[in-house]
Structure 1
Amino acid sequence: MKKLRSYIKIITVVSAITALTACKKQLDLKPHDQIDATDAITTDKDVQSNLIGAYNRAGLSYIYGGDVFLMPDLMASQSVVKWSGTFQDLTEMVNQRVTINNGYVDNYWLDAYRVNNQANYVLANLDKATAANKNSYEGQAKFLRGLMYFDMARLFGKSWNDGDPNVNLAVPIVLKPTTVIGTDSYPSRSTVAQVYAQAIADLTDAETKLTTSTSFYANTYAASAILARIYLQQGQYAKAVTEATKVISSGAYSLVANYADEFPFPNQNAVHVDNTTEDIFAIQVTAQQGVNDLNTFYASSDYAGRGDISVRSTFLDEFEEGDGRLAVYNEDSGGSLQVDKFDNLYGNVRVIRLAELYLIRAEANFRLGTSTGATPVEDINVIRARAGLTALTSVTLDQILKERRLELAFEGGFFLHDAKRLKQNVGALPYTSPRLVFPIPLLEINANKNLKQNDGY
């Protein structure tokens, strides 16, 4: 069952800061049980606890525990999936008629600002950190905040290429921790361009402050990878190529041999599986924290899910014969066609993986007519080779976009975000339809007189 809605306004995000119990080692351990931390931040350990708490909160179901990717996909995948769920708030998204009191939207807004508020606490207290840890804490906090603002801008604001991003509104930018209610507790919405700029600034700073060490937390390559995604969304292709190449050429990550192995399932629902060699940044899901919410709706009851989302057989017709990626599409015991990427109840939620960077670089290089790092066909053949397909001698933009669609299906909310970026209709709606943008929650509008509602609501 989903957790009960928590109607707490953005201006009251001064509640208890979550943190994890004491660690013997700085940021190299897996997340475990939460505790409340209400004491003042006075030591390096306090800063660390707040940072780990921010990561833990970012993994809640309404954010990177799955719903930040589930929600946009439901709004744009009607030709690919069938929805049989009974959650009215998600049904509104499938019907592309989201209401101003939608519980999923409300809780996403609330939890996203809680993450940012906790990151702001870390950044405001860096003077308490030791010299050895200061850069790491700052980079981690800015990574989370930049990632959060980018996704909020895409969901609550118009697409970058829909009108003028310097005029279109996104979400309020809050860069200081909220401790008391004051005149600055009622922020207005910043423009799409301003929020993107903030996300880029945070991630660029994180990129320079984080190390190359791979663990369960963000490193410099994770920041580069999200920057590549942002630049592709903006159409800044040269920058997208640069950031993607940083990750690919680092050698820190490699594609797993078989596509299905990227989504490991140990046949025991209570088993946590660590990141694969392909995962650049993933949310670690454990029994203590909760479940992978993509499992809740995509997996059938055979694998602890509800099976509310089934795949239309026509989607499989898009794959070439012998495509190894078809291995993750199978009928459950009831004969319903499901995607098996999320069968592990405690499987990690992949925020970004290496295959996406090859696809970003291939598309961006193609659009530029360049071959920085590799030719577009070389990058696409890396993806095709892993899928067991024959190499291409040349490639078109349509072929690149098809490989992207099939490789990343049901990950990252790309059914909606790519449709907008590519100026494609989303079902019967044009990509510019206000029904494809989340409303500002009514509770927030009522609490903050400076918030303006989106068109159509």
Structure 2
Amino acid sequence: MKQIKTILLILVITVFYSSCEDSFLSPELETGINADNYFKNDAEIEAGVLNIYDGIQGVNQLQITNNNFNHGVQVEFYLTEMRSDNTETKSNEGEAAQFEFFNVEATNGLVDDYYRSYYNVIFRANLVLENLGTASATKSPVFEGEAKFLRAYSYFNLVRLFGDVPLVDKLISPLDKQTAFTRVASTQIYDLIVSDLQTAISNLDDNGPNDRGSKAAAEGILAKVYLTLGRYSEAQTLLESIMNPSRGFALESNFKDVFYNEGNDEVLFAIGFLPDSRLNSQSFSAEWLNAVGRTSGVNYASLDAKTVLDANGGNRTQYSYREDQAQAGKYQVVKYLPDGDTNLGIAPTSADPRSAGNDWVVLRYADILLMHVEAIMAGGASTTSTNAISSFQKVRDRAGLTTAVTSISEDELLLERRVELAFENHRFFDLLRFGKAQDVFSAYSAANGLGYSSTDLLLPIPQREINIGNGQLSQNPGY
């Protein structure tokens, strides 16, 4: 994602009111440019749109070492993969270990970081939407579509992770604590998500780069929303629209190229990063390695995930994990590998692994195909639909698993999603959506001496937010 961080110099009020101290809500003005005299033409509104992507991209915490900054998608793996049976820390360190042991505390700084990051993204989207009146008739629908796509994407993550959350669909004043600290029923959050994505589908096309919102990306995310809500036929219609050959999406012939040949036809939406840039690089992939980032390794593949990949991954396995070269019996995720691997034919993606340029893939065509199977299955235990089998077989054929299938069970679909999308932050959400999380996590916890309980399916509302709201914001059970 190019030229984004510089927008922070222009937009001096990129704060979201419900997640900041009062002293930060009314910063002393240090520039003559502010939201009141900005956003006067298409170029300036375009800058505001790019600033929304910047909020998701987050700050590289290895290059800009201020823990008060938002790190956006770069900390998402803690809240998803490490809170499942897929990954763990290498040495049980600090706050990160709370996720793998299912004992996350309300004071966890990574949870707070993610929560405030995505509400700040929502603020940035609302800021653009508030100023559409100054855009040209040609560009206004596009700006609206991108802003609403990103707002919906943010709320979809928040509602699945935290449950009922504050609903902020417009700019609010610093004193509007009723909106900022009132949790709204998830059904209302989903209503906004669906509406926003429908607008994005109507307003956008597929002609831009895949690190920008598009019609196909909005259709794919909405299909996943519909699957979550049990609206299977609507999901199937959207997915088959994306699958139409005229749309131009396809599986990469080589699994490795999905992650190391950026801008490919398989990726519908990615968060873009640039290598060797202090402002536009990411640090998460360095943190996944040993002695490259600040830590001794986080987001290591669990033995459970390794075993499943060894048995079912086909040619995907070698590009999903590798044994830690410094410590036998520990396994690093390699889908995003900044320092390369000559044995795997992966060249370094940056001169300094701590400033990695690997894009984060949010939605890709293999996910579309497997969701298509899910939509046809429609909550049933299995399917023999030839359309579902065709989609399923395409994913397996690319993995070198060419034995023909004649039926697909729910468990087989979940297994295929796990090995195809391993370490891409889907596993936790998949188990929730299929209604399997309670059983899977209970069994995994018992087998590994962890502390899972049913209340762990939701993260705590950050204690900092509760404190700022003087207790008006209620806490989730179990925290």
Which band: TM-score by shorter chain?
A: 0.7 to 0.9
SS at match of 2:264: coil
C-alpha distance in 2 between matches for 1:445 and 1:140: 31
C-alpha distance in 2 between matches for 1:445 and 1:321: 44
After TM superposition, list the pairs within 5 Å mapping 1:169-188 onto structure 2.
Answer: 170-182=164-176, 184=178, 186-188=180-182
The answer as to whether partners of 1:203 and 1:227 remain within 8 angstroms in 2 is yes
1:311 equivalent in alignment to 2:301: yes
Output the amino acid matched with 2:205. T
CA drift at 1:43: 2.5
1:415 equivalent in alignment to 2:423: no
CA RMSD across the alignment: 3.0
What TM-score, normalized to structure 1?
0.81
1:381 equivalent in alignment to 2:376: no
C-alpha distance in 1 between matches for 2:294 and 2:462: 31
SS at match of 2:144: helix
1:53 maps to which residue? 51
2:416 maps to which residue? 403
CA drift at 1:293: 4.4
Indicate the larger mover: 304-313 or 331-340.
304-313
1:361 maps to which residue? 372
The C-alpha deviation readout for 1:268-306, integer Å capped at 9, x for no partner, is: xxxxx6322211000001224354344133334479985
SS at match of 1:318: helix
Output the amino acid matched with 2:190. Y
The C-alpha deviation readout for 1:321-356, integer Å capped at 9, x for no partner, is: 781111212224224422210103220001111100
The C-alpha deviation readout for 1:49-98, integer Å capped at 9, x for no partner, is: 11111111111166653322432211112xx4442256522211111111
C-alpha distance in 2 between matches for 1:364 and 1:451: 36
The answer as to whether partners of 1:67 and 1:293 remain within 8 angstroms in 2 is no
The answer as to whether partners of 2:393 and 2:405 remain within 8 angstroms in 1 is no
The answer as to whether partners of 1:256 and 1:277 remain within 8 angstroms in 2 is yes
The answer as to whether partners of 1:146 and 1:200 remain within 8 angstroms in 2 is yes
CA drift at 1:434: 1.4
The answer as to whether partners of 1:244 and 1:361 remain within 8 angstroms in 2 is yes
2:252 maps to which residue? 256
C-alpha distance in 2 between matches for 1:69 and 1:103: 14
User: Given the superposition, is the C-alpha separation of residues 312 and 108 from structure 1 closer, same or farther in structure 2, using an over 3 Å criterion?
Assistant: closer
The answer as to whether partners of 1:9 and 1:443 remain within 8 angstroms in 2 is no
SS at match of 2:104: coil
2:4 maps to which residue? none
2:316 maps to which residue? 325
User: Given the superposition, is the C-alpha separation of residues 275 and 455 from structure 1 closer, same or farther in structure 2, using an over 3 Å criterion?
Assistant: same
CA drift at 1:14: 5.0
Segments of 5+ residues of structure 1 without an aligned counterpart are 1-5, 17-35, 158-169, 265-272
CA drift at 1:15: 6.9
C-alpha distance in 2 between matches for 1:305 and 1:283: 24
Output the amino acid matched with 1:274. E
The answer as to whether partners of 1:295 and 1:305 remain within 8 angstroms in 2 is no
C-alpha distance in 2 between matches for 1:196 and 1:252: 29
Output the amino acid matched with 1:124. E
C-alpha distance in 1 between matches for 2:71 and 2:218: 18
Output the amino acid matched with 2:367. E
1:299 equivalent in alignment to 2:289: yes
Output the amino acid matched with 2:165. V
C-alpha distance in 1 between matches for 2:146 and 2:313: 41
C-alpha distance in 1 between matches for 2:435 and 2:74: 25
Output the amino acid matched with 1:214. G
Indicate the larger mover: 365-374 or 61-70.
365-374
C-alpha distance in 2 between matches for 1:263 and 1:354: 13
1:341 equivalent in alignment to 2:358: no
CA drift at 1:180: 4.1
1:205 maps to which residue? 199
The answer as to whether partners of 1:330 and 1:337 remain within 8 angstroms in 2 is yes
CA drift at 1:144: 0.5
1:279 maps to which residue? 267
C-alpha distance in 1 between matches for 2:477 and 2:216: 37
2:80 maps to which residue? 72
C-alpha distance in 2 between matches for 1:321 and 1:50: 44
CA drift at 1:376: 1.2
The C-alpha deviation readout for 1:353-408, integer Å capped at 9, x for no partner, is: 11000000012212378999961111111001111111424122222221111101
C-alpha distance in 1 between matches for 2:361 and 2:90: 25
1:29 maps to which residue? none
C-alpha distance in 2 between matches for 1:379 and 1:432: 36
Output the amino acid matched with 2:300. S
Question: Which residue of the other structure, out of 154, 158, 163, is the alignment partner of 1:152?
Answer: 158
C-alpha distance in 2 between matches for 1:440 and 1:226: 24
C-alpha distance in 2 between matches for 1:42 and 1:254: 40
Question: Which residue of the other structure, out of 466, 470, 474, is the alignment partner of 1:445?
Answer: 466
The answer as to whether partners of 2:77 and 2:299 remain within 8 angstroms in 1 is no
Indicate the larger mover: 248-257 or 320-329.
320-329
Output the amino acid matched with 2:96. L
2:362 maps to which residue? 351
